[in-house]
Amino acid sequence: MSEKVVKVGLLGFGVVGQGAWKHLTQGEAGLEKLLGVRIELAKASVRDLKKTRDLSIPSEKLTTDSWEIVDDPEIDLVCELMGGINPARELTLAAIAKGKHVVTANKALICEHGAEIFQAAETSKVHYGFEASVAGGIPIIKAIRESLVANDFKLIYGILNGTSNYILTRMEKEGAPFDEVLAAATELGYVEADEALDLDGFDAAHKAVILAYLAHGIWAPEGGFPIEGIRRISTEDLQAAGKLNCKVKLIAVIRRDFETNGVALGVYPALVPMSEVIARTDGVYNGISVTGDVLGTTVLTGRGAGQDPTASSVISDVVDAVKVIRGDKPPPKLLHTHEGVCRLASPSEVEGSFYLRLTVEDKPGQLARVADTLADQGVSIATVLQSGIPERSAASIILTTHATNEHSISMAIDALESLSGVLDKPVLLRMFDPNNHSK
Sorted by where each starts, the structural domains of the chain and their CATH numbers stand as 5-136+307-326 (3.40.50.720), 140-303 (3.30.360.10), 347-431 (3.30.70.260)
C-alpha span between 431 and 437 (Å, rounded):
14
Question: In the 3-class helix/strand/coil scheme, how is the chain assigned residue by residue?
Answer: CECCEEEEEEECCCHHHHHHHHHHHHCHHHHHHHHCCEEEEEEEECCCCCCCCCCCCCHHHEECCHHHHHCCCCCCEEEECCCCCCCHHHHHHHHHHCCCEEEECCHHHHHHHHHHHHHHHHHHCCCEECHHHCCCCCCHHHHHHHHCCCCCEEEEEEECCHHHHHHHHHHHHHCCCHHHHHHHHHHCCCCCCCCHHHHCCHHHHHHHHHHHHHHHCCCCCCCCCCECCCCCCCHHHHHHHHHCCEEEEEEEEEEEECCCCEEEEEEEEEEEECCCHHHHCCCCEEEEEEEECCCEEEEEEEECCCHHHHHHHHHHHHHHHHHHHHCCCCCCCCCCCCCCCCEECCHHHCEEEEEEEEEEECCCCHHHHHHHHHHHCCCCEEEEEEEEEHHHCEEEEEEEECCEEHHHHHHHHHHHHCCCCECCCCEEEEECCCCCCCC
Query: How far from chain centre, in Å, is Cα 331?
Result: 25
Of 283, 275, 330, whose CA–CA distance to 302 is shortest? 283
C-alpha span between 427 and 425 (Å, rounded):
7
pTM: 0.94
Q: pLDDT, tens digit, for every residue of 340-353?
A: 999 999 999 999 99
pLDDT of residue 135: 85
- Is 207 in the active site? yes
**Residues of the chain whose pLDDT is less than 70?**
1-3, 437-439
Catalytic residue among 7, 100, 207, 247: 207
C-alpha span between 319 and 29 (Å, rounded):
13
C-alpha span between 69 and 42 (Å, rounded):
9
- The residue type at 242: G
Of 343, 301, 305, whose CA–CA distance to 158 is shortest? 301
C-alpha span between 239 and 294 (Å, rounded):
37
Cis before 330? omega within 30: no
How many other CB atoms sit within 10 Å of the CB of residue 44? Answer: 24
pLDDT of residue 437: 56
Q: pLDDT, tens digit, for every residue of 159-207?
A: 999 999 999 999 999 999 999 999 999 998 889 889 999 999 999 999 9
pLDDT of residue 50: 87
CA dist 64 → 49, 50, 294 (Å): 7, 11, 49
Of 267, 279, 109, 106, whose CA–CA distance to 200 is shortest? 267
Based on the number of CB atoms within 10 Å of its own CB, is 418 exposed (0-12), middle (13-18) or buried (19 or more)?
A: exposed
pLDDT of residue 45: 97
pLDDT of residue 128: 97
- Percentage of the chain beyond pLDDT 90 is 88
Asked if 386 and 364 touch (Cβ cutoff 8 Å), the reply is no
Q: pLDDT, tens digit, for every residue of 357-390?
A: 999 999 999 999 999 999 999 999 999 999 999 9
pLDDT of residue 3: 60
How many other CB atoms sit within 10 Å of the CB of residue 211? Answer: 24
